[in-house]
Amino acid sequence: MSDSISDRPILGGLPIGLDGSVELGRARVSKQLVLILIIFVASKFTFQALFVPAYEGPDEPLHLARVVAFADRPLRVAFDGEPVDGSIAAGIAARPCGPALHRFGGCRSFGNEPAAFNLLKPLPKLTGGQPSPNPENNQPPLFYFLAGMLARFATILSRSMNAPEQRLLVVRLLCVGCVLAAFLFPLRRCAAARPYSFAIAGLLVLTFPGAAEALARCANDAPVFLWSAVVVASLPLAIPMPLVGVLLAIGPLLKQTAFPVAAFAVVWLWCDGRRRAAVVGALSAGLVFPVQLARGWRWGGNYELNRPLPAIGEAAGSMAVGIFRSLYTFLKTVFWLGEWTFFRAPLFLVVIYFLLLMALIASSRPRSNPRAWVPHLAGAATALVGLFVFIVANRRYFGGWGGVGGWYLWSWTPWIAVAWNDCFEVRPRAIPFLIGSTAGFSVVANWAYFVKAFAIYG
């Protein structure tokens, strides 16, 4: 056990120590630091939602199109999946954009006019754009339904809220709200039973550029982040079996990346002796499949499996290199993606990032608690299998390796943080170094990120 306040167990929010006054003073400092970091993360995410140009978040036009369909179209039509609305295509053409959006046609490249903060002056609803197929129709419908109902209600209150850019800003802020809601109860509860260093380290990681890129955009990742936080906080509460069913049904209906957390929850319930709740949870998580079948999608993944895909046709060695490259790209783009323009992080930051990961691993030792290990291993195995399937499907669908971005990991971070704390103990002497290094890395990474972003967006 450590004599450090950062690693001492806490009870009722206060650390247990021999010297009450000293410990209480250190606890106040740690508590104030946690509050400061929460305010900073909330401010940073809000800034990101306002700063990033319209449609520049990865896949934002496609996710927005699903929301617009539920806001404007009959529910059955939106449920089945609609093409990208022509008003979104027209809005993209009227704004400066990066290379990834040129396929919509007509948009000017970044640099010809200021683009940062342009959602603060949203364009009215435009016409003349051509509808196009929406690959995000393969996503489950729950998030889009909820966001679409919010957009429909806002349009009733103000007709101007029917414009895509108005809705884009609202959904971005809704996603920021999901992250903040996770802080209010579920993550607060998780942190209350753990050292202050748990909360401090977790909040510092959320200051990385990639966190706001992934969670402060118009997409369904932030709701999964909130759901993951609710799951890990609720399991120790012995919640009633019907609530277990509802909770584990919600995640996969938001996005299939919820399955690793659902697998963890089911195995946790089983190991806890709640076998019936585990079975109900597993069946509830699987409800996404009949729902997707009713929508006309066989599996409803990010890549449609209703049509045959070409074989990879590569030698085993070439495939191994391709898979390694995809894994490297996934891990690298966790901390910095570069929005949909994909502007790259400086190489020295990438090196430091991987060194930090290696320092964390080297400073950690496994805990001797098999009850905690088994559920988390089930979740990790599900995540690895899903990632491998996704990498191969991406290769077959687009014809190249390395195209899987690291933003998917951020929706798992509440579970990953709890899993690491449950399964590993960080050596006390390494904690100040790791926290200080992470803070310094975040400062430099954000400085470099916004220097590049302002240079591109203007």
Instruction: Judge whether residue 203 has pLDDT over 60.
Output: yes
- Tokens for 105? 């046609």
Q: Please state the pTM of the whole predicted model.
A: 0.92
Q: How many separate domains does the chain show? A: 2
Q: Which residues pair with 366 in a beta bridge?
A: 424
The residue among 171, 189, 211 that closes a domain is 171
Q: What is the pLDDT of residue 368?
A: 85
Query: How does DSSP classify residue 98?
Result: -
* 135, 9: one domain: no
Taking each helix axis from N to C end, the angle separating 241-254 and 288-295, rounded to the nearest 10 degrees, works out to: 40
State pLDDT tens for residues 152-194.
999 998 888 899 999 999 999 999 999 999 998 899 999 988 9
* 288, 395: one domain: yes
The phi, psi pair for 9, rounded to 5°, reads -60, 150
The residue-averaged pLDDT of 196-213 equals 96
Mean residue pLDDT of the chain comes to 89
Q: What is the pLDDT of residue 260?
A: 97
Question: What is the DSSP annotation of 239-291?
Answer: --HHHHHHHHHHHHHH-GGGHHHHHHHHHHHHHTT-HHHHHHHHHHHTTHHHH
* 158, 246: one domain: no
State pLDDT tens for residues 68-79.
999 999 999 999
The residue among 171, 187, 211 that closes a domain is 171
CA distance 129 to 240: 50
* 24, 94: one domain: no
Half-sphere exposure of 363 (CA within 13 A, CB side): 17
* 48, 24: one domain: yes
* 113, 163: one domain: yes
Asked if 269 and 235 count as a contact pair (C-beta separation under 8 A), the reply is yes
* 151, 208: one domain: no
Residue 90's domain spans which residues? 60-171
Q: What is the pLDDT of residue 28?
A: 76
Q: What is the pLDDT of residue 394?
A: 78
* 311, 167: one domain: no
Query: How does DSSP classify residue 426?
Result: E
* 137, 194: one domain: no
* 251, 154: one domain: no
The residue among 133, 156, 171 that closes a domain is 171
Closest CA to 91 of 50, 71, 119, 133: 119
Q: Which residues are CB-neighbours of 166 under 8 A, at least 6 positions away?
A: 122, 154, 160
Label residues 320-333 b or e (16+ Cβ within 10 Å = b): eebbeebbebbebb
* 253, 360: one domain: yes
Asked if 20 and 180 count as a contact pair (C-beta separation under 8 A), the reply is no
* 202, 138: one domain: no
Instruction: Judge whether residue 16 has pLDDT over 50.
Output: no
Helix (H) or strand (E) run with residue 90 in it = helix 86-93
Instruction: Judge whether residue 311 has pLDDT over 80.
Output: no
